[in-house]
Structure formats: C-alpha cells, structure tokens
Amino acid sequence: MEKRWRCTVCGYIHTGENPPEICPICGADSSFFELVSQEEEANKSTEVKPTAQPVIPQPDREASLRQALYRISYGLYIITAQAEGRDNGQCANTCFQITAEPPRLAIGINKINFTHELIQKSGKFGVSVLSQTGQNHARRFGYRTGRDFDKFEGLAVHRGESGVLLLNDVLVTMEATVVGQLDSGTHTLFLADVTAGEILQEGDPMTYAYFRSSK
C-alpha cells in the first residue's frame, strides 16, 4: 500500500513513498507533511455515517486551528516570475484583490520557493487564473522546484508586457509590479499594482475544493 502524506498547513493529501518537496496547494515544504497512519485510514474506511447530525469532536488546539483555516475557500493560480534570464512558476492559493482604484492585489509566496527569489529580484510577477480543467497545470507547477526543472517545457505560453511568462490555456492573466511586502513568517505577502490583464477564455475558475474533488 502506498503511503499517504497530509500537509499540516492546508490538509492536502499526497500519495507516494515520500512527501512532495513542496505542497502544490499552499507552498509548504516537505517538513510540514505528516504520514497518515494505517489505523487512521482503516478507521476512515470503516466509519459508519450516522443519520442524525453528529456532535463534532474537537481536536487539540493546534489541529483545530489548522482545520479551521483549511475550511477557508481558495482559488488556484499559477504565479510566474522572471529574473536574470530565468523563468519559473508555482501553484498558489493566496491571490486576492485589495483595491479597484488603483487595481491592486496581493499574493502569498513561501520564502523557500524559487518563484519567491525571482519576485524579490525583479519586483514583478504574473498571475494565470486556472479554469476547472486546469488540474494538470496545478500538479505540474506544484510538485517540483523550478531550480532544476523547466516547468514551461512543452506548454503553450506567451510573454507579457513585463517579460514574465503567462499560460495560454487559462481564463485570464494579469501582470503586476510589487509596491510593498510583508514578512509573514514562512511566507512573504507581496502587495502589487496590476499593470496588464487579458481575458483568454470564458468559464468558471478552479477552486481548491474543486481540485480535491476532481482529482
């Protein structure tokens, strides 16, 4: 039986002999993964669901906080950056609008990620908003580091006005210039002005909940 690893930050489940280097959903590194025990799996598979509304058992404080955060709704995005002749991208769920005038958004990126390094150097990044058929993009940009793997090889992409690579097979793309940042512990929250945007497809955006249910 293959091992199953749970991200203790967002709850993502990975199947394999070892945990992934980086969580494809929240960007946490492998140290944040815990092995799901066989006993837990067995209990889950044999659990009988009651017909009445159950009383939800409360876990310890730390687990409760993780589970509470896990229930926040997220989208899934490919964040791209370019600096010193290197391109990279990663899957991220922290991307949200701050203001409409001026058009401004924020993203959260793990400090150990190569994309973080490129954004710090260039002060710019791109956002490709995944459609509900973008599961392969989420996996491709989430499971491996771009320091030793070209994540764009074989994909249909184009360069935006700022020089960052953007995916073609997505709903919309945006380009942004960093105007501020906040040290958030393991992550940096980048505040940025949106300088360009394009609509490529019609459809519904990918959410983390949809990604998990359609794997």
The predicted structure's pLDDT at residue 48: 46
Nearest to 90 by CA among 70, 119, 66: 119
The predicted structure's pLDDT at residue 54: 55
pLDDT in tens, 54-109: 555 666 777 777 777 767 778 899 999 999 999 999 999 999 999 999 999 999 99
Same domain? 98 vs 52: no
For the chain, list residues with pLDDT below 70: 1, 26-27, 38-59, 70, 208, 210, 212-215
In the block, tokens 């489940």 appear at 13
Cα distance between the two ends of the chain: 19
Q: Burial of 56 by CB count in 10 Å (0-12 exposed, 13-18 middle, 19+ buried)?
A: exposed
Same domain? 111 vs 46: no
Same domain? 25 vs 63: yes
Same domain? 25 vs 87: no
Read off the CATH number of the domain in which 15 is found.
Answer: 2.20.28.10
